[in-house]
């Protein structure tokens, strides 16, 4: 019984910190000011969000619901699943493919936002305002090279897009291989 008490005490001791460490932690916390730049504040505001995997599900817009249903019907018609496992594979394949299309729209939106920002910057550089543009003054146009340069403006977001696309590609390949394996097994069992 004495050994049990020593085990309890040692685990309790390892979980508590010394008064000296506690005082140092509090002093450090008082000196911490957090991010000061706008970019740093924006990034830290999303710290708890991470990837939104476990967040409350957001409802799809009516247009997205129709796109998903159309995709699902098409996959069911093409792949003709039979049985719960095959149906689950096709459903998951539909969701994965749909997510890939949403990522493509995210990427297009990011590029469009970057190009619009660059166009506005170019107009400001040439001293044009909305009044000039309303009177028929033609704004300078971005060159194709400038559009290409600004289309990759936010490397962090582009990196996320690429990572998500690769993960979804791998998942789609695995699901399709699993579905084909299940269908082969089903066919060989009935013939």
Summarize pLDDT for 72-107 with one digit per residue, the tens.
999 999 999 999 999 999 999 999 999 888 888 887
Highest mean pLDDT, choosing among 131-140, 151-160, 182-191? 182-191
- The verdict on residue 91 lying in a domain is yes
Host domain of residue 115: 62-190
What is the C-alpha separation between 133 and 37, in angstroms, rounded? 33
What confidence tier does 158 reach under pLDDT thresholds 50, 70, 90? confident
What is the C-alpha separation between 107 and 113, in angstroms, rounded? 10
Q: For the whole prediction, is pTM greater than 0.75?
A: no
Please tell me the predicted confidence (pLDDT) of residue 157: 74
- The verdict on residue 143 lying in a domain is yes
Highest mean pLDDT, choosing among 38-52, 64-78, 129-143, 156-170? 64-78
The lowest-confidence range among 30-39, 68-77, 85-94, 177-186 is: 30-39
Please tell me the predicted confidence (pLDDT) of residue 140: 59
The mean of the pLDDT values for the chain is 76
- The verdict on residue 36 lying in a domain is no
Task: Give the chain's length.
Answer: 191
Helix-then-strand count for the chain, H and E: 8, 0
Number of compact structural domains in the chain: 1
Please tell me the predicted confidence (pLDDT) of residue 112: 75
- The verdict on residue 49 lying in a domain is no
For the stretch 18-32, pLDDT in tens is 899 888 888 888 887
- The verdict on residue 72 lying in a domain is yes
Give the count of beta carbons closer than 10 Å to the beta carbon of residue 5.
9
- The verdict on residue 26 lying in a domain is no
Contact between residue 86 and residue 183 where contact means Cβ atoms under 8 Å apart: yes
What is the C-alpha separation between 82 and 62, in angstroms, rounded? 29
- The verdict on residue 25 lying in a domain is no
- The verdict on residue 22 lying in a domain is no
The pair of structure tokens assigned to 52 is 């939104």
């Amino acid at each position: 019984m004495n050994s049990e008490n020593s085990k309890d005490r040692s685990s309790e001791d390892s979980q508590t910190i010394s008064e000296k460490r506690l005082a140092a932690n509090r002093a450090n916390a008082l000196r911490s000011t957090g991010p000061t730049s706008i970019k740093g504040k924006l990034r830290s505001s999303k710290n708890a969000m991470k990837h939104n995997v476990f967040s409350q599900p957001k409802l799809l817009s009516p247009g997205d619901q129709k796109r998903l249903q159309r995709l699902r019907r098409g996959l069911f018609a093409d792949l003709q699943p039979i049985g719960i496992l095959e149906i689950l594979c096709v459903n998951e394949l539909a969701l994965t493919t749909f997510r890939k299309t949403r990522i493509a729209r995210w990427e297009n939106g990011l590029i469009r936002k970057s190009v619009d920002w660059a166009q506005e910057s170019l107009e400001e550089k040439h001293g044009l305002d909305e009044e000039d543009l309303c009177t028929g003054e033609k704004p300078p146009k971005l060159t194709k090279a400038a559009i290409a340069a600004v289309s990759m403006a936010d490397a962090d977001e582009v990196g996320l897009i690429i990572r998500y696309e690769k993960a979804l590609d791998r998942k789609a390949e695995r699901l399709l291989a699993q579905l084909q394996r299940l269908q082969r097994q089903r066919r060989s069992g009935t013939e």
